[in-house]
Structure 1
Amino acid sequence: MTATLPSRPPAPAAPAARPRLYALDGLRFVAAVAVVLYHFTARWSEVWGADPGDVFPVLGAWATYGALGPELFFVISGFVILMTAWGKDVPHVIASRVARLYPAYWVAVVATSVLLLWIWPLGKEITVGEALVNLTMIQELVDVRHVDGVYWTLWTELRFYLLMVLMVAWGLTRRRVLWFAALWPLAAEVAATAGWTTVSTWLISGYAPLFAGGMLLYLLHRHGHSAPVWALLGMNVALSVHAVVPAQLHSLSANTVFTPSAAIVAGLVVACFLLVGAVALTPLRHLGWRWLVPVGALTYPLYLIHEFWGWWVIAHLSPYAHRWVTLAVACAVVLALAKGLHEVESRVGPPVRRAVEQRLRTPLPTPHPGPVARTPTWSALPQPPR
């Protein structure tokens, strides 16, 4: 009779990958379209030959609130970046963010700089030096103007990514994320109130609760409902309303002919959290519309390329075509440019990611030690005569 050896216990099954939140792709694209309509039909510019708000008195009045598209981006970013960073290490997170942000951005900066330097210098006066500094994405840090005003959000995202890298280096756990989402926005608010400019800058005062709220929504999506998480989410929603409403009222009053409603702005700030929460916590998370993936992929390129290229189309077409035709053509052109930009991004991004991650994982070469001087032994020393 052959003895039966005890079998090795089976390895634990790998956790099943969470299904893609297709509705989140659609939500990102809606936010980008809202920003495009705001810039084309409400935000002040000379491209229509009149104030855009006078050209589109009805559409412009509603498109004005598309200026809150970046706030929605920030909530989504808090959710998505925590989701993609969970269980990953620092090299992976840095490489994924560099590959996600920079390739499309470099092409957009070059394209817009060519437009403004040589094709349409009336659009905005910039210099080659400013364009070169913009390629770093840290132009605001060194007090250089943005080639395109929309780049301000990228500097904001970049600082959030830096904080997330520090969190990943520390180690992502539910408890640590909760403490971070509780203390970070409060510290940012204190820094802003106290006038500590440098601290306020690096803590992303004004936008910290939007990112933190997105992170908390991911915790609810990942771990289920929890009273402490909901309480912290409520605090971050309140802090977001407190920070965003006065800033947006001032900005919209200065940049449009419309008088924005504080109640609507506040409601839209809350809606940023509600929309992401609906996608992550309701049956919408099971939405299987795969066609939203390529649509959502156009979000970042569209945001990067639309403003000046769209204004260029409007400036040259509006004297000869109806306003609605001009608006439709401008939107079609920037969507086509965004599609081309995405093609470049999809080809360049993966090799950039692999190169950056490989470089970060390659240990630095240790300096080769030189020859070690030997201490002569007693027998090797000259001996005194006997």
Structure 2
Amino acid sequence: MDVRPADPACRTYRRWVVLAPTAASTGAPAAPSPPARLVSLDLLRLVAAVGVVVYHFTARRTSAWGDAQPDLVPDAVTRWASYGSLGPELFFVISGFVILMTAWGRTTVAVVASRIGRLYPSYWVAVLLTGALLLLVWPEGKHVTPGQVAANLTMLQAVVGVDHVDGVYWTLWAELRFYLLMGLLVLVGVTRRRVLTVALLWPPVALLVQRLGAADLAELLVSDYAPLFAAGMALYLVHRDGHAVAPWLVVVVNTALAVVLRTPVTVRGLEHTTGVVPSTAGVAAALAACVVLVAVVAVVPLPRLDRTWLVSAAALTYPVYLVHQYWGLWLISRTVEHVPAWLAVLAAVAFSFGLAWVVHRLVEARWAPVLRRRVEAALTRGRDALLARLNAGPRVLGAAAGGAGRAVRRAPRSGA
């Protein structure tokens, strides 16, 4: 077997053409083994999802209730339930924490495969279920087309200007852009210093880009929600390495930035969608609470949260978020004239969680690991093929140069 070292040019390519530097290559300390999943974060996700469900079924004005919604849903319920619309903001803080936690010390291939396996199986089924409902059963719920449903299966419909089949999908587009930015960080190499730098500079830079009118770049940088993702990243550093001034400073700065940026936008949005003017101070406090709740999980040991039923309930967060809106509103539209409003809402919530359980058991639990493994294998093959092609060039050049040198040495000197 040929065990000769590769020629220097080949080694040059192998040094630079990589998909994720190792800890040794970046100077970072070796990453610990993958951390156990924090059940408390999963439960926070569940709380956020329930808040969104309650907001959609009660506070948000919708034709499912008919003209009687203001009479059937008291203003007090609308005011309190409207805070559930901030569930996505809590999602984003949690994502900043969790995605950094899972990406640390892993290759880009592993991170990408993990995210695709996590997001797509349940999403595909949810799009098809909601599309079937709106196309075949309840077209008055929302006008959609088969082409729109097909485009939504990519999760990239926003890129080509196609409307979401279900409005809740907007958060997935924000998450995908954050994953892209995290992938770039993994390519460079994840270190504490780099994470702090990114978490501190990314949000103001994204905001500056937005103010300068570069709308496409600002959207790519997730300018509207960057402070929330960045705060979650800094909180993971606190969780991983302990208390220090720098990460807490990043948390405070990003929390303040998120409150200043999102409060007026949220107040205007809720006034439009609910017909009730929310408390500006209440919205600001709720936005800050999104960070505070994750901070509590990051620094405070919370015992007895690994009960089986809690873990099982938390596992329904993603599918219930994806399927609840139109299926639940459809059920409300069919029952609200026959039962009390509170019972119609309770039935819609129960039905949404039941449908989510089916999606989780039959799709997510079975097919997410399969898709992750297949994507990781395909990406690994593609990476290896790319490296082989890039390394073949220096070998050919090196062989040609070596052959030319030998030919020169063999050639007789002129005048000899």
**1:15: Cα distance to partner?**
4.8
Match of 1:359 among 378, 386, 401: 378
Match of 2:64 among 47, 56, 61: 47
**1:22: Cα distance to partner?**
1.8
Alignment match, 1:278 = 296
2: distance between equivalents of 1:297 and 1:205? 29
**1:275: Cα distance to partner?**
0.4
Contact kept in structure 1, 2:177 and 2:222, CA below 8 Å: yes
Residues 51, 207 of structure 1: alpha-carbon distance in 2 compared, 3 angstrom cutoff: farther
Match of 1:118 among 132, 136, 159: 136
Residues 53, 211 of structure 1: alpha-carbon distance in 2 compared, 3 angstrom cutoff: farther
Alignment match, 2:241 = 223
Alignment match, 2:20 = none
Residues 14, 312 of structure 1: alpha-carbon distance in 2 compared, 3 angstrom cutoff: closer
Deviates more, 1:360-369 or 1:242-251: 360-369
2: distance between equivalents of 1:216 and 1:50? 46
Match of 2:97 among 76, 79, 83: 79
1:167 aligns with 2:189: no
Alignment match, 1:341 = 359
2: distance between equivalents of 1:313 and 1:288? 33
1: distance between equivalents of 2:64 and 2:31? 56
Alignment match, 2:287 = 269
The size of the alignment, in residue pairs, is 357
Residues 279, 273 of structure 1: alpha-carbon distance in 2 compared, 3 angstrom cutoff: same
Residues 289, 214 of structure 1: alpha-carbon distance in 2 compared, 3 angstrom cutoff: same
What SS is found at the alignment partner of 1:139? coil
Q: What is the TM-score of this pair, normalised by structure 2?
A: 0.83
**1:291: Cα distance to partner?**
3.0
Match of 1:108 among 105, 114, 126: 126
Q: Aligned runs of 1:240-319 on 2, under 5 Å?
A: 240-284=258-302, 287-319=305-337
Q: What is the TM-score of this pair, normalised by structure 1?
A: 0.89
Give, as a single letter, the amino acid of the residue that structure 1 aligns with 2:375: V
Match of 2:216 among 198, 217, 228: 198
Alignment match, 1:373 = none
Alignment match, 2:50 = 33
1: distance between equivalents of 2:117 and 2:101? 17
2: distance between equivalents of 1:91 and 1:18? 19
2: distance between equivalents of 1:296 and 1:218? 20
**1:59: Cα distance to partner?**
1.9
**1:289: Cα distance to partner?**
3.4
2: distance between equivalents of 1:102 and 1:19? 23
**1:53: Cα distance to partner?**
4.4
Alignment match, 1:331 = 349
Residues 286, 167 of structure 1: alpha-carbon distance in 2 compared, 3 angstrom cutoff: farther
Alignment match, 1:147 = 165
What SS is found at the alignment partner of 1:47? helix
Alignment match, 2:404 = none
Alignment match, 1:64 = 82
Give, as a single letter, the amino acid of the residue that structure 2 aligns with 1:26: L
* Aligned Cα root-mean-square deviation (Å): 1.9
Superposed CA deviations along residues 283-340 of structure 1, whole A, max 9, x for unmatched, are 2277443432211110000000000000100011111111111111111111101001
Alignment match, 1:383 = none
Contact kept in structure 2, 1:61 and 1:258, CA below 8 Å: yes
2: distance between equivalents of 1:76 and 1:31? 10
2: distance between equivalents of 1:355 and 1:49? 47
1: distance between equivalents of 2:152 and 2:34? 38
Contact kept in structure 1, 2:61 and 2:69, CA below 8 Å: yes
Alignment match, 1:5 = none
**1:191: Cα distance to partner?**
1.4
Residues 199, 280 of structure 1: alpha-carbon distance in 2 compared, 3 angstrom cutoff: same
Superposed CA deviations along residues 167-225 of structure 1, whole A, max 9, x for unmatched, are 11110000000010011101111112222101111010110000000000000000011
**1:280: Cα distance to partner?**
1.5
1:189 aligns with 2:210: no
2: distance between equivalents of 1:313 and 1:338? 15
Superposed CA deviations along residues 113-159 of structure 1, whole A, max 9, x for unmatched, are 00001111111111111110000111111111000000000000000
